[in-house]
Structure 1
Amino acid sequence: MAKRGSRRQAAQKARKAAAGKQPGTFGRWVRRIALWGTAIAVLGALFVGLAVLFAARSLPSYSQLKATQNAQTIVVRARDGTEILELGPSFGEWLDHDEIPQVMKDAMISVEDRRYYSHFGVDPYGLARAVYTAATGNGRISATSTITQQLARNIFLNSNRTVDRKLREGVLALALETKFSKEQILELYLNKVYFGGGAYGIDSASRKFFSHPASELTVAEAAIIAGLVKAPSRYSPTADVDAAVGRAKTVLRLMREQGRITASQASVDVDAVNLKQEAGQNSVRYFTDWALPQLDILLPETFEPITVWTTLDVGMQRAAQTSIEANTPNGAQGALVSMDRDGAILALVGGSDYVETSFNRATTALRQPGSAWKLFVYLAALEAGYTPEDRVVDTPVTIDGWSPRNSGGGYSGEMNLRTAFAYSKNTVAAQLGNEVGFGTVASMARRFGITTEISTFPAMVLGSSEVRLIDMTRAFAAVSAKGMSVEPYGIVKVTTSDGETLYQREKPREVKLVPDYVAAGMTDLLQAAVATGTGRAAQIGRPVAGKTGTTSSNKDGYFVGFSSGITTGVWMGRDDNRAVGGLQGGRAPAQAFAAFMRFAVKDRPPEKFETDLQLPEWQLEPDDEFYFGDPDDYYYIDEQGNLIEPGRVEGPRGDGFPVEGETAPGPANRTPPPDPARDGAPQAASDDFLERATGGDNEQRSPPPRQPAQRPQPPPGTNSQNR
């Protein structure tokens, strides 16, 4: 019995001991959490592994990643080949891993990812340190992206700071490390990372900031470039040299601490680095804003990098900007357009400061040209038979209720046409416009390239119609070209980065706008305006021809002229169209013209203007009886009211013009007046002139008086004192 009892006691003790070893409630929860945590970790690892595997299989090939770029790059070059502007991202030359200087690779790894060669795309140590710093500091997690993560973000993701984007960035980084080697990833990164100023990749950055390829980078230069990645705009050497140098010194210190460079290399003088001197892009942007949109018409759709070769002369552009800045009155804006004899734009300034306002007053603004418009009035008069020596009378005149006044308020009586133009006599211009017809003047302006709406009120002869400066400059250039049409252009050719030509400008077909004697007579008048008239401030010590223009209340000042094959137009005024005290075309605009042109023509020989008039026989013949011969030699009006030139052959089209290749019989050197049907304009010559031209007896048959058309009166504020 004793033995049996002792055995029971021993069994009870064993049960109690076993019961004492069983875990309590807390222990059971710990075991459960551990079990579930392990299961979740395994599932998470499996999920991440599958995500990485799927991402790796979906990644483009290495060659495809090399070929991708974010947008088109456009490099704009001046006429001498110098680069004046680069738009869009620039990727430079691709450098293989072996071509990248070791110091550049070391600098980037030191400052961006010191454990690059030891992690697998994501740096657990760096992430844990960032979380600890945030927990014990300001609660903000600092940047923890590795080079691989940055590459994944730059190629595939945006820069949003969200948990979702960060998770995808990590998965893609692991996928990149799975598919590509460390050398390949670093090569992709250094050729694609953004360094500011539109520069992607170390070669583009090196050329932008140091003017040489990345293969020639020094230790100090590599440190500057590596320091840009953190904040390209803040540390850009072109924006803040001191910030860039300070950041580069930090990079050198990190490289030294990590043993990637020696102490002597770390002590280089970063301040001594030669940075690329960028040409001022202020006024150049006015030119590129006008020229580059034309690429949409000139080129087929393309996204590859291109180089645009332009007509812009860098030296003339600086001179143009300086002349506008120096001569434009305070509170006003100034604009300048200068073109060569073939229409090539040499300089273009659309305002006093592009940064302040990018509105292009040279190519877009519509402003009244004042008396510079008289170019078209006198062209029409010369074509109708006037010569610079013909006598006119400066006297009060009223046309359809409108009475123009001269600038000084007085009248000079009889004078020749040259003097009337030189001193910009408004009454004479009004009489001429009325005689040849205001529609004829409008037609002449259209012929010479004015594309804006043209009024046919009598006051239009004084420049009441708004025009673009570039169009007015084009018109004067056509006179300089002896009456041949001139087409402004700014793009010579466009090439790819491989040198393939996508566009090459071809010389356009030339059109004779007016006969030689009309262009010569107009040049005579323009030369007189500068030599003795209102444009004397535009003299530059060689032959100059031009015309001033000033609108009522001095709201606009104009001067357009030419010398040695270069035509330049200048406008000044306020954008709000308020008056500018003392602004006259013969002052500030003419002075700006002279300041620019002295530089523009310095390398060109002086050219004497051809002003000798070789008039047609009908205009030179003093004997009216000369025309009482063959009826084919007569001018006459057909049933439709069109003026028909003597000897014109009626073509098969029924328009009175000879067929191409045929020669019209009759006296030589007879140029047809403009088509009166053009723009609905009246006949080019007056009835009195036609009587004289056809040999009529003026004493017995005087021309009928002109019946003025019932034109509406010009709106209030129309210029009446232009000069």
Structure 2
Amino acid sequence: MPEKRKKPANKSRRKPATARAAPRTRASLLRRVSYWSAVLLLWGGIAAALLLAWFAYDLPDTDMLGRGRTSTGITFLGANGETVGTRGDIVGATVRLREMPTHLVNAVIATEDRRFYSHIGVDPWGLLRAAWANLRAGRIVQGGSTITQQLAKNVFLTPERSIRRKAQELLLAVWLEQQYSKDEILTLYLNRVYFGSGTYGISAAAQKYFGKSVGALDLSEAAMLAGLLKAPSRYAPTRDLALARARANQVLANMVDAGFLTGDGASAASRRPATVRASGGAYGVQYYLDWVVDRLPDYIGRPDADLIVETTLDPRLQLLAEEKMAAAFAKAGTAARVGQGAMVVLAPDGAVRAMVGGRSYAKSQFNRATQARRQPGSAFKPFVYLTALERGMTPDTMMRDSPLIFGDWQPRNFSGKFAGEVSLEVALRDSINTVAVKVSEKAGRHRVIDTAHRLGILSDLQPTPALALGASEVGLLELTTAYAPFANGGRAVLPHGIREVKTAAGRVLYQRHGAGGGQVIARHDLDAMNRMLMTALQSGTGKAARLPGRLAAGKTGTSQDFRDAWFIGYTPQLVTGIWFGNDDGRPMRRVTGGGLPALTWQHFMSEALAPMPSTAFPNGRAEGGDLISRIFRALGGDT
């Protein structure tokens, strides 16, 4: 039986089925894409909303804008009422926009935010432009933050660099634009922004750098201040005037580019660059200000407002002290191996008129006038001889200059010789060591220590035989203070640099009262000590410090191996102490107290006293006239 043939498959019927399936597949794919896109958009929106909520949740308190910037800046006034320095943050008085020169406002807008009056607080085009400029330069040359963003950052946020902080900055900038007008935002910005050197606000900056009000700023000065906003510390004219002027020229170019200024106007301003107000002794006075700041909490506790501190500093004497110390370093050169030095100038009542704490404050803030402790050498001897006078000796008491041995220690004279019988006055005049030790032993070491402490020495003193030769370390300020009773009639004093402290609003927090610790030297002993110390200066080891036509007294001091050289001297008007040495105790090359210190003292005092009348020491004469009166008359004084 023949096999039946199978019918061929009908291919024409299968094709329509496949054709119908393709549209269904594409539709299904589109539905799936649409579905998941919607899901992603939904969850992305939720995530964005949550992220935004997280950024906004702990935004700073916006009331901070109304309260203003909290500061504890300090302005220091000299004894003449002039500003001698500042510390901390100084916030200027608020200046309204209409009180600011137009060229100042234009300089800021041209440099910081040219689209300020058209954006909503955030400038996307500005961000893109800055990103492109930075990409082309291969480094950051432009910032994309608007003035509104900078205000938000300065007032509300910390310096932290993070995405979260940047998002908060953007949110706050938009909020500020909703709450304030453009002019109000610009006013807030210019009164809050940092201008370097511890100054906040355009008013403080104008006063700090140029000594004038905001309204008086010329174009060059306005350009320099606007240039500070990018990097206040780097471009501060008090730090690098040349760099500040170069930056100001860039601001002028920005103003031309923005259409605020003609090319000729920019060229004219560039030819007349801003000149920064001079601040004499700016670095040297910092030692003094450090000393005052350290003592402020003792008088007023922790300050919570801007302060004005009236000091005892005499700007003329301060500048003179810095000049004479600089000249001394130059004179000594490297051959003498004099690395450091310090000077303290007191009024006889203990008011500190000037202070130099070292060779360069910029290189070392260690204050050698107040913080260093060094061996005073023979500058300690006046306390030995005063103790002897109080025990019944006189300047004419005779002592023998001869060898003396204490176990393994033997005092030696600088000359290497012995003079035999000498009076106490001659022994102090010639700084004879053996006699000083004998006097100390006879008067009593503990009594010598008591005398030194009574007059103002605060450091611990060791009751060894070498006490009389200044073996125990003391500070320059305390040693100079301890000489003040010789100059003021025998009264102990406290060294002080603060007369009054008040808030910027005028509330007095502290006023100095009182004159010190009372009488510590009897009159007859005071007269004798002044006589002996005048002789030491006029014809002894300190004769390089002589002041023609004036009464002056003082004592030299040189420690072992020339490690320290001192001269402490006084007149009825000033008590001045000078020290030279090295921080590490290295010996100098034969520098003695009668050399560089005495010469520097003489150079300083001759000019410092020039405007002051010549007078006698208080209680410095006995009935019928004494040696001091006779010397004073011989010098041309009127007793």
Band the TM-score falls in, shorter-chain normalisation: 0.7 to 0.9
SS of 1:269's equivalent in the other structure is helix
Report the CA distance shift for 1:376/1:52 in structure 2 as closer, same or farther (over 3 A). closer
What is the CA distance between 1:169 and its match in structure 2?
A: 1.2
Q: 1:510/1:239 Cα in 2 relative to 1: closer, same or farther (>3 Å)?
A: closer
Q: How far off its partner does 1:127 sit?
A: 2.7
Which one of the candidate residues 453, 457, 461 is aligned to 1:450? Answer: 457
- Inter-CA distance 435–555: structure 2 relative to 1 (3 Å threshold): same
- 1:596 and 1:176, CA in 2 relative to 1: closer, same or farther beyond 3 A? same
2:206 partner letter: S
For 2:442 and 2:552, locate their aligned partners in 1 and report how far apart those are by CA, in whole Å. 29
Instruction: Give the root-mean-square deviation of aligned CA atoms.
Output: 3.1
Equivalent in the alignment of 1:553:
561
* Residue in 1 that maps onto 2:97: 97
| 1:416-455 mapped onto 2 (5 Å cutoff) | 416-455=423-462
Larger Rg: 1
CA distance in 1, matches of 2:138, 2:600: 60
Shift of 1:32: 5.4
Residues 1:488 and 2:495 are matched in the alignment = yes
8 Å CA contact 1:474–1:488 kept in 2: the answer is yes
Change (3 A) 1:549 1:105: same
SS in 2 for 1:558: strand
State the partner residue of 2:71.
71
Relative to structure 2, which stretch is displaced further, 29-38 or 330-339? 29-38
3-state DSSP class of the match of 2:200?
coil
Label 1:500 to 1:241 Cα distance change in 2 as closer, same or farther (>3 A).
Answer: same
Compute the displacement of 1:66 (Å).
4.4
How far 1:314 moved relative to its partner?
1.5
Post-superposition offset of 1:242:
3.3
Q: How does 1:223-238 map to 2 (within 5 A)?
A: 223-238=223-238
2:296 maps to 1:295: yes
SS of the counterpart of 2:342?
strand
Q: Displacement of 1:140 after TM fit?
A: 7.2
1:627 maps to: none
In structure 1, how many angstroms separate the alpha carbons of the residues matched to 2:449 and 2:43? Answer: 85
Q: Check conservation: 1:91, 1:204, Cα contact below 8 A.
A: yes
Matched-pair identity in %:
37
- Which residue number in structure 2 is paired with residue 636 of structure 1? none
Partner of 2:275: 274
- Aligned pairs for 1:250-649 (under 5 A) are 250-262=250-262, 265-272=265-272, 273-328=274-329, 329=332, 330=334, 331-332=337-338, 333-398=340-405, 402-541=409-548, 542-609=550-617, 611-612=620-621
8 Å contact kept, 1:111–1:251: yes
* Deviations, residues 37-84 of structure 1 (Å, cap 9, x unaligned): 76568657866886798789x7434xx524332531111121112222
TM-superposed deviation, 1:369: 0.8
Give the AA of the match of 1:319. Answer: L
Whole-angstrom CA distance in 2 between matches of 1:206 and 1:28: 67
> What letter matches 2:269 in structure 1?
D
Please say if residues 320 and 347 of structure 1, whose CA atoms lie closer than 8 Å, have aligned partners that are also in contact.
yes
Alignment-derived partner of residue 85 in structure 1: 85
Q: Equivalents in 2 of 1:214, 1:479: separation in Å?
A: 51
More helix by share: 2
- Is the CA contact (8 Å cut-off) linking 1:220 and 1:268 kept in structure 2? no
The Cα of 1:134 is off from its aligned counterpart by: 6.4
Q: Does residue 202 of the first structure (1) align with residue 202 of the second (2)? A: yes
CA–CA distance in structure 1, aligned partners of residues 254 and 44 of structure 2: 36
- Describe the superposition over 1:513-564 as per-residue Cα deviations: whole angstroms up to 9, x where unpaired: 1210001100000001011111100102122111111122111111111113
Quote the Cα distance in structure 2 between the aligned partners of 1:158 and 1:270.
36
Give the residue type in structure 1 aligned to 2:234.
Answer: R
Q: How many residues matched?
A: 602
Distance 1:400 1:175, change over 3 A: same
Amino acid aligned to 1:315:
R
State the shift of 1:263 in Å.
Answer: 5.2
Which residue of 60, 65, 78 corresponds with 2:62? Answer: 60
TM-score norm. by structure 2 comes to 0.87
User: C-alpha displacement at 1:344, in angstroms?
Assistant: 0.7
Task: Say which SS state the counterpart of residue 403 (structure 2) adopts.
Answer: coil
- Closer/same/farther in 2, CA of residues 509 and 548 from structure 1, 3 Å limit: closer
How many Å separate the matches in 1 of 2:205 and 2:303?
Answer: 24
Judge conservation of contact 2:56–2:171 (CA < 8 Å) in 1.
no
Deviation at 1:472, TM superposition (A): 1.2
The range that moved more, 538-547 or 44-53, is 44-53
Structure 2 residue identity aligned to 1:552: Q
Kept in 2: contact 1:521–1:611 (CA 8 A): no
Q: For residues 327 and 310 of structure 1, do their structure 2 counterparts lie closer, same or farther at Cα, with a shift above 3 Å needed?
A: same
Q: Residues 135 and 285 from structure 1, CA distance in 2 versus in 1: closer, same or farther, beyond 3 angstroms? A: closer
* Kept in 2: contact 1:517–1:614 (CA 8 A): no
> Which residue identity does 2:177 align to in structure 1?
E
Q: Please name the residue that 1:662 is paired with.
A: none
Instruction: For residues 301-328 of structure 1, give each alpha carbon's deviation from its aligned partner in whole angstroms, at most 9, with x where no partner exists.
Output: 3221111111111121122122222224
* Helix, strand or coil at the partner of 1:341: coil
**Cα 1:138–1:281, aligned 2, differ >3 Å: closer, same or farther?**
closer
Aligned counterparts of 1:478 and 1:271: Cα–Cα separation in 2: 58
Q: Report the Cα distance in structure 2 between the residues aligned to 1:324 and 1:141, rounded to whole angstroms.
A: 45
- How big is each residue's C-alpha offset from its partner over 1:232-273, in whole Å with a ceiling of 9 and x where there is no partner? 233222333333233323323333333334555444323422
Instruction: Indicate conservation of the 8 Å contact 2:402/2:420, yes or no.
Output: yes
Deviation at 1:380, TM superposition (A): 0.8
SS for the counterpart of 2:268 is coil
Secondary structure of 2:531 counterpart: helix
Cα gap change, 1:522/1:86 in structure 2, threshold over 3 Å: closer, same or farther?
same
Q: 1:556 to 1:42 in 2, by over 3 A?
A: closer
Could you tell me how far apart the structure 2 residues matched to 1:174 and 1:165 are? Answer: 14
Q: How has the CA–CA distance of structure 1 residues 304 and 509 changed in structure 2, closer, same or farther, with 3 Å as cutoff?
A: same
Q: Find the counterpart in structure 1 of residue 10 from structure 2.
A: none
Change (3 A) 1:135 1:74: closer
Q: Does the CA-based 8 Å contact 1:104-1:223 persist in structure 2?
A: yes
Distance 1:48 1:261 in 2: 45
Unaligned stretches of 5+ in structure 2?
1-14, 625-639
Distance 1:268 1:137, change over 3 A: closer
Inter-partner Cα distance in structure 2 for 1:315 and 1:388: 38
SS at match of 1:170: helix
- Give matches, 1:87-236, under 5 Å: 87-131=87-131, 138=138, 143-236=143-236
1:334 alignment partner, SS class = strand
**Matched letter for residue 436 of structure 1:** A
| Aligned residues of 1:374 and 1:463 also touching (Cα < 8 A) | yes
- The answer as to whether partners of 2:193 and 2:200 remain within 8 angstroms in 1 is yes
Query: What SS does structure 1 have at the residue aligned with 2:414?
Result: coil
Deviates more, 1:372-381 or 1:388-397: 388-397
Give CA deviations for 1:173-196 in whole Å, capped at 9, x if unaligned: 122222222222211111111121
Instruction: Note the C-alpha offset of 1:486.
Output: 1.6
Are 1:55 and 1:175, in contact at CA under 8 Å, matched by a contact in 2? no
Q: SS of 2:442's equivalent?
A: helix
Contact (CA 8 Å) 1:209, 1:237: kept in 2 or not?
yes
**Which deviations, in whole Å up to 9, do the C-alpha atoms of 1:606-645 show, x marking residues without a partner?**
2234654579xxxxxxxxxxxxxxxxxxxxxxxxxxxxxx
